[in-house]
Amino acid sequence: RIEEVEVQGTISGRFKKISIFMNVFNVHVNRAPYDGKIEKIYYHKGKFLSANLDKASAENERNEVMIRTKDGRVIWAVQIAGLIARRIVCWTSEGTDISKGERFGLIRFGSRVEVFLPSDSRIVVNLNAKVRAGQTPLGYLS
């Protein structure tokens, strides 16, 4: 799912949100969408609803990773646990530099990752496309 959203909370502002659902047969390693520095990591306890449901974004256990690019833009990568995936692993920490495509965590089986790009970003991935971690471009910052 690809949508433009206005969000309030830990993540606040106007973004283009790309939701990537991973079923039990997919690779569940999460990679950084852009180069930058891990500025904040927020963990939220929550439910374990099926990760393909819209309400899983707000209600499920999740880990919100804020990346600040070298030019000051903010990107969020959100790890969301699912019905079967009940364990989020995050290998990075606040203050760490990260490179595009670098592994920063994983979610154990049947989960979702959401990438929040600044609203003026150009999305290049197609809706319902199968993406490959570290290989498929999702979008470009303007």
> What tokens were used for 139?
């979008």
**Residue 13 near residue 7, CB atoms below 8 Å:** yes
The whole-number pLDDT of residue 66 equals 96
Closest CA to 64 of 97, 93, 41: 41
Catalogue the active-site residues: 111
Determine whether 82 is exposed, middle or buried from the number of CB atoms within 10 Å of its CB (0-12, 13-18, 19+).
Answer: buried
DSSP H/E element including 16: strand 13-22
The whole-number pLDDT of residue 130 equals 83
N-to-C CA span, the chain: 21
The whole-number pLDDT of residue 111 equals 81
**Domain segments of the chain as ranges:** 2-122
Q: What is the pTM of this model?
A: 0.85
> What tokens were used for 122?
């150009």
Q: C-alpha angle with apex 89: 105 to 53, nearest 5 degrees?
A: 90
**Which sign, positive or negative, has the C-alpha torsion 36, 51, 16, 64?**
negative
Ranges of residues in the chain whose predicted pLDDT is under 70:
85, 110
- The upper half-sphere exposure of residue 16, i.e. CA atoms within 13 Å in the direction of its Cβ, equals 16
Assigned fold of 2-122: Glucose Permease (Domain IIA) (2.70.70)
pLDDT, tens digit (0-9, with 9 covering 90-100), for 121-135: 999 998 888 888 778
